Amino acid sequence: MRSSVPDGDLAAIVDAAVTEKLERLEARRFGLAKAPRKGVSDTDVAASSRHVPAAIRRAVHERDGGRCNYVDKQGRRCTAHTSLEFHHRRPFAVGGDHSPTNVSELCKAHHQHLAQIDFGCKPVGKERPTGAAISLTPDLNLRL
């Protein structure tokens, strides 16, 4: 990195490396690409698997502004920009598709909250032990 950091400042080198790695991870997670192969109109949105196609992830990320899309009863939108997950408004488990109108970005806490509303607090799947309830994190600060 001598050409971009001529004085060899270790802090500048580490900062550049971390920034580049974060950009790559974000690009992979949200389907961002300089020259995408498919657009939303070319993408099959039928829910044949839980995988959300990259074109849909790009469109949703751009529409939601890279921010949690949860809005409380007072009309305030969550400000979280980290730990974002894709949420199906009509759940995949009950036939929801991957169309941009059915998918939104939510922070982990709000995604879990809406999953509890959709499916209740009973355990889902084989991953959770019998009788275990899904609980929201103690630091969750929802105003409903």
Does residue 132 fall inside a structural domain? no
Helix (H) or strand (E) holding 120: none
- pTM beyond 0.75: the answer is no
CB 53 within 8 A of CB 38: yes
> Using one digit for the tens of pLDDT, what is the confidence trace for 37-84?
666 665 666 767 778 888 888 889 889 998 999 999 999 999 999 889
> Using one digit for the tens of pLDDT, what is the confidence trace for 85-126?
988 888 888 888 888 888 999 999 999 998 888 888 765 555
Does residue 25 fall inside a structural domain? yes
Give 10-77 as a DSSP string. HHHHHHHHHHHHHHHHHHHHHT--SS-S--GGGS--S-SSSPPPHHHHHHHHHHHTTS---B-TTSPB
Does residue 143 fall inside a structural domain? no
Q: Check residue 38 and give its pLDDT.
A: 60
Does residue 137 fall inside a structural domain? no
Does residue 114 fall inside a structural domain? no
